[in-house]
Amino acid sequence: MWKTIPEITLSDGLTLPVIGLGTYTLKGKEGVNSILSAIDTGYRLIDSAYNYENEGTVGEAIRRSSAPREELKITSKLPGRYQTYDKAVTTIHESLYRANLDYYDVYLIHWPNPNQNTYIEAWQALIDAKKGGLIRSIGVCNFLPEHIERLEKETGVKPSMNQIELHPYFNQASQRKWHEENNIVTESWSPLARANEVLQNDALQQIANRHNKSISQVILRWHYQLGAISIPKSASFERQLENISIFDFSLEETDMSLISGLTRPEGRINNQDPATYEEF
Ligand SMILES: NC(=O)c1ccc[n+]([C@@H]2O[C@H](COP(=O)([O-])OP(=O)(O)OC[C@H]3O[C@@H](n4cnc5c(N)ncnc54)[C@H](OP(=O)(O)O)[C@@H]3O)[C@@H](O)[C@H]2O)c1
């Protein structure tokens, strides 16, 4: 199955599948079983974070899985409280030790925390860790264009990707366009809007019926056709399989516009605007 998931090439040459597994809340023994089931189902991209306290769970699933390490693409993220150069370096090592890995495929700064104003030195630590072979590709999450412009201006290095909140109620059209113009891949977090009422939307149900698919599949196909990588989280084997079974149909332009048209100015799930929201 995994060979049928299309891939996207980042600006630094790393290739990633267009769908990965979100792991927020997947922890411990049950978490290991869920991640193993996802790998068996065909997932090869796994999204973790220091703050999810599950890098160990991800590492254990990798250790038990029969998939070779080089087939897997593992992501983790630097938390706000360790956004100084020295703390970021130590945290990258700690993230690797927790997962028992030699390298992360992708390592991201979790939030810009603009008031804290230390993301430039944290970015320098990621740049140096990449040079040292600990990370293959470096990127950010929740960065606005002005934050990314500063990274490039002050270090000369642009992120390969930006992981942002993106779902039909918050379609991020202008941020996505800016990414495209700057050769930065968009990765969608909460791609199913955390299974909120969007999964009961009538218009989406009609599109789903026409294609004999579920609303979740229609939404994940929409992400794919937008050119974004999505990382839906599911603990269940059935829903994991459902979520990657989206490559045997396509949405017409009218469907794409209708789904994008569901966006709302206040569509964020928890009102986490990166211009002001900070996470540590
Ligand atoms: N960078 C950041 O700041 C940031 C922020 C938030 C999230 N993330 C990452 O993005 C990942 C995904 O986001 P998320 O976990 O917030 O939300 P999500 O993937 O949009 O939704 C997850 C929820 O949807 C349910 N679900 C999954 N597939 C389904 C299906 N086919 N039908 C019905 N329900 C389904 C899951 O339940 P079951 O598990 O029971 O299936 C779970 O409750 C996270 O896990 C995390 O890795 C990053």
The Cα–Cα gap between 96 and 119 comes to 21
Residue with tokens 């080089």: 70
The residue to mutate among 190, 240, 270, having the most atoms of ligand 1 within 8 angstroms of its beta carbon, is: 190
Contacts 24+ apart (CB under 8 A), 209-217: 211/249, 211/251, 213/246, 213/249, 214/242, 216/192, 216/242, 216/243, 217/242, 217/243, 217/245, 217/246
Per-residue pLDDT band for 13 (boundaries 50, 70, 90) equals very high
Give residue 4's pLDDT. Answer: 81
* Residue 3 confidence (pLDDT) above 80: no
Q: Is the CB of 31 under 6 A from ligand 1?
A: no
Counting from 1 in the atom list of ligand 1, the atom nearest the Cα of 195 is 24
Give residue 176's pLDDT. Answer: 98
Work out whether strand 15-17 and strand 7-9 pair parallel, antiparallel, or are unpaired. Answer: antiparallel
The percent of residues in the chain predicted with pLDDT above 90, rounded, is: 99
Atom 4 of ligand 1, residue of closest alpha carbon:
189
Give residue 46's pLDDT. Answer: 98
> Is there a contact between 129 and 260 (Cβ–Cβ < 8 Å)?
no
Give residue 2's pLDDT. Answer: 61
* Residue 259 confidence (pLDDT) above 90: yes
* Residue 147 confidence (pLDDT) above 90: yes
The residue to mutate among 41, 50, 189, having the most atoms of ligand 1 within 8 angstroms of its beta carbon, is: 189
SS3 content of the chain, % helix, strand, coil (to 5): 45, 15, 40
Q: Is the CB of 269 under 6 A from ligand 1?
A: no
Give residue 21's pLDDT. Answer: 98
Report CA Rg, the chain: 18
* Residue 88 confidence (pLDDT) above 90: yes
pLDDT tens column, 123-143: 999 999 999 999 999 999 999
* Residue 5 confidence (pLDDT) above 80: yes
Give residue 1's pLDDT. Answer: 61
- The residues near 53 (Cβ < 8 Å, ≥ 6 apart) are 27
